[in-house]
Structure 1
């Protein structure tokens, strides 16, 4: 059963005390809140709030927005602080992101957001519900990725030959990512429960989910995000080379397109490594504090899972460059050959 949650505003702090327990200081506040959302909007409630002094939590102040949970199991509903309300700041930075994108990319930026909306629709209304129902996560992830590539890609980039080339290349490269992923998940004996959220998913009260398959499915979906960038860029690069000089042969188009692609590979591989490392900073600090040997740390499933995920994505990225460049050079080079054929 979903726990009822509401947005609320602190309107009064009726008490604020500090106590010491075995050398640890705790601060306790009694807050008067007014509910700002849901069926009980406008209701005023008293809620206790307690935290350890010196930790990340801070004391509440009048005017703060919070999320309160409502326990409906007890005879009388009991409210408690669930979290600080942060979505207003999220909407602000999201609006900034949308404005900058649309101003710089104009109509293409609007189409990009339409493609992004389709991506989220496929994930949240097809992939996630099917997995919760117990469907094979690998199959659902692969089918979902194909749907995203087929719909979002064409909405964002238009119905043209470059997008056709990118789509074909993405399909082939996703198959490569799938094969590499499944081989190395089994070779490294990853169980799929290397992260805390995957572990607790097994006890979520739903049909048993294949967490190893979920790990492979996550690799496929993650690779798709990288491939979209690489495939469309490479197809566009070769197309522009052809338009700049229609006399270039297929071999010349392929070679010149690959030069740009190599630069793309170098920058994106570094980007991937930094992105995964940055996300794992707290974990790396934890391992350092406990002074485990580097090879033992690397061998742990929680680290190795992220390393394999990064490497599968990087291999897919690298493979996409020559594959997309080949198809683009073959198509645009053929066009040049037809155009340069002398009339009979």
Structure 2
């Protein structure tokens, strides 16, 4: 990165970058990178602290197992009967309806045919003879026989096919760039699995952990996917600014709304078993992590826009260049806001439908912990995203060459 050129990556413009802005930007990124690595070392969870919690909550009764079986018959759901007709005033279930006939093909019951009752939605989910299901075998009480019940549908094959199709489409359409994106995604998964989650379980402060993890991920993902260049360095600078702004907004919004972070079954389990974890801080960290992908998309687009504008017009002043870049950014902001809101709406659709059944006003429901958490998550992430656009534009404008009569324009590789 020592010479004075920033070159176009994948057909982007080549610009003569002045030494001073190059040095300042790279020095700032280097400082942030070192600080994030030091933070990772300081916040790295001790193995014993995380291991004590991981796997510590019993999923089923001691001695239970989860053998798989093959569906032999899917019975039609039982018709709804009045509660009074059932013993004890509850609806009755027929012996030849609402069940799965399954042959166990694992464990001590291998080869045994069992009839297990299932909920109507399971019968109607498209199950057919030959499909595989997972069963729950509870240990036998003293003097009794072990019971076998339905646990879930075995879906690993479908998930692997979907993952394989995803990788294939990415590689076919995006080619080498897509491959690098997958490499970056894999690295992000390692950071989440080996640092973020264990550190949070170990009781390390959630927001600093999220900031360190986000910074490390963005350094690797942006440079891996988009190449090492001054253009991507400018985008990285804007991304890191957006991450910090999002964290500050999440801290203010969660604290101002007095959110507890306990809004679903998962948070209830954490509050019971992971007492070192601050769930309010965890909600703030979730806001930061949730916005990484879309934030990266916006900042890369803005940096590229400024690069191309400068290459196309060397005479624009920095103020004019910033104004032009922001006109592009506003269009991107408008479409991206819809993306964020619809994404959160989709994930919370079941919750929205459920709470709409209650006899309370919509405003009263919006103030509940469940919906307020989603609203704060969406708004804080959106504000951080919007502010990242002018931040990235400013970094890129200050990095590209000053106005001059002619700026070189070529297409070439883009080492910084």
CA–CA separation in structure 2 for the residues paired with 1:7 and 1:269: 45
Number of residue pairs aligned between Structure 1 and Structure 2 = 333
Equivalent in the alignment of 1:318: 386
Q: Given the two structures, how large is their TM-score scaled by the length of structure 2?
A: 0.72
Write the mapping of 1:1-344 to structure 2, written as runs, cut at 5 A.
Answer: 8-10=68-70, 12=72, 21=86, 22=89, 24-26=91-93, 27-35=98-106, 43-52=110-119, 55-58=120-123, 61-71=128-138, 80-203=149-272, 205-334=273-402, 337=404
Higher relative contact order (CA 8 A, sep 6+): 2
* Larger strand percent: 1
How far apart, CA to CA, are the structure 2 residues paired with 1:107 and 1:42?
49
Q: Distance in 2 between matches of 1:198 and 1:73?
A: 32
8 Å Cα contact 1:32-1:47 kept in structure 2: yes
Secondary structure of the corresponding residue to residue 250 of structure 2 = helix
What SS class does the counterpart of residue 106 from structure 1 fall into? Answer: helix
**Secondary structure in 2 aligned to 1:62?**
coil
SS of corresponding position for 2:261: coil
Once superposed, what is the RMSD of the aligned Cα atoms? 3.0
Q: Deviations over 1:209-229 (max 9, x none)?
A: 111111000011112222111
Q: TM-score, normalised by structure 1?
A: 0.86
- The one-character-per-residue Cα deviations of 1:125-154 (angstroms, maximum 9, x if unpaired) are 111111122222222111111111111221
Check 1:78–1:339 CA distance in 2 against 1; reply closer, same or farther (3 A cut): farther
C-alpha displacement of 1:291: 2.8
Q: Tell me, which stretches of 5 or more residues in structure 1 are unaligned?
A: none
- More deviation in 245-254 or 259-268? 245-254
SS in 2 for 1:32: strand
Contact 1:6 1:68 in 2 (8 A): yes
The 1-side partners of 2:71 and 2:346 are apart by: 39
Structure 2 unaligned segments of length 5 or more: list them: 1-54, 409-416
